[in-house]
Amino acid sequence: MDNRPIGIFDSGIGGLTVMREIMEQLPYENLIYFGDTARIPYGSRSEQTIKKYSYQCASFLKSKNVKAIVIACNTASSIALDHLKNQFDIPVIGVIEPGARSAASVTKNGHIGVIGTTATINSSAYQERIMEFKHDAEVIGIPCPLFVPIVEEGWEYSNVAELTAEKYLAELIEHDIDALVLGCTHYPILRYTIKKVVGPYVKLVNPAFETAKDLKKILGEFSILNENFELPKYEYFVSDAPERFRRLGGNFLKKEIDILSEIAIDNL
Ligand code: DGL
């Protein structure tokens, strides 16, 4: 039994889709979210920079006495998970392995698509992980960088979203995929449009949901679940523009963002 909070970080607001799943699956856990809104996007940056930023985000959470850290960002998970696991003496969980495992298990024909930021797809983290779970899979990764600003504009149901999805996803449809990993925090919000484009027979895998499931299992294994069945406390920190975070965050979280503070990037 451990009532310390779980720390969750992302490059900005997108990780709230992961937080939302954690709130649903672990309703008694206290949570601290950090969004590095001053330095988003991570998805177009170099490995070295993503590792450095991720380490600073995790260190900030560690300073808040968290019992585990969830890297709620696909880009940071792809590049920095091993690095962070070596640096901290608490469980550090990324979104790649849970998403890859689920994709490998739901596919029937072995043709799996992965979409994400340029850094995530170029790292091949999902592609390699999926092949470990399913050796004969054919995995095709496509970077879809425009999806992030489309979601942040609130255009997820628009013609722009649909045309963009048609352009990005055409190659995956040609390869007859039957499973598609939504390998970026923002993509679950585009679920409806993506499904419309890829068709009803393609299963969409949401790593956020799978990560929350894994987190629950890991906390249980470490005997650090919070068994204090009271209303949990949710705290949010950002490195820039808190009011924008509060405004847009609601669409990701489906909940009001109450306790929100801005921290200076230099203090990270
Ligand atoms: N959160 C990032 C991810 O899941 C998307 C936004 C960014 O590029 O930082 O990959």
Which domain covers residue 37, as residue numbers? 6-94+209-267
pLDDT attached to residue 267: 67
Residue pair 75/119 in contact by the 8 Å Cβ criterion = yes
Residues 67 and 113 in one domain: no
Distance 138 CA to ligand 1 centre (A): 25
Give the β-pairing of 31-35 and 6-10. parallel
Which residue minimizes the CA distance to atom 1 of ligand 1? 73
Distance 75 CA to ligand 1 centre (A): 6
- The residue among 226, 180, 184 whose CA lies nearest residue 203 is 180
Please check whether residue 1 lies inside any domain of the structure: no
Residues 82 and 100 in one domain: no
Ligand 1 binding pocket, CB closer than 6 Å: 10-11, 14, 40-43, 73-75, 116-117, 120, 148, 184-186
Query: For residue 149, is the peptide bond before it cis, meaning its omega torsion is within 30 degrees of 0?
Result: no
pLDDT tens digits, 234-262? 999 999 999 999 999 988 998 899 999 99
Of the listed ranges 9-23, 218-232, 252-266, the least confidently predicted one is: 252-266
d(CA 45, CA 117): 10
Number of structural domains found in the chain:
2
Residue 227: what are its φ and ψ, rounded to 5°? Answer: -100, 15
pTM for this structure? Answer: 0.96
d(CA 192, CA 152): 16
Tokens of 200: 């009803």
Which atom of ligand 1 is the closest one to the Cα of 145?
Answer: 8
Which residue minimizes the CA distance to atom 6 of ligand 1? 41
Active site residues: 73, 184
Q: Please, which residues have CB within 8 angstroms of residue 103's CB and are 6 or more apart in sequence?
A: 112, 114, 126, 130, 133, 179, 181, 205
Residues 201, 207, 211, 214, CA torsion sign? positive
Which atom of ligand 1 is the closest one to the Cα of 10?
Answer: 1
Quick check: 156 pLDDT over 90?
A: yes
Of 161, 178, 207, which residue is a domain's last?
207
Which atom of ligand 1 is the closest one to the Cα of 78?
Answer: 10
Distance 43 CA to ligand 1 centre (A): 5
User: The domain spanning residue 159 has which CATH number?
Assistant: 3.40.50.1860
Of 207, 226, 253, which residue is a domain's last?
207
Tokens of 252: 């990701």
- The residue among 180, 252, 258 whose CA lies nearest residue 18 is 252
Residues 116 and 181 in one domain: yes
pLDDT tens digits, 94-134? 999 999 999 999 999 999 999 999 999 999 999 999 999 99
Please check whether residue 255 lies inside any domain of the structure: yes
Of 207, 226, 242, which residue is a domain's last?
207
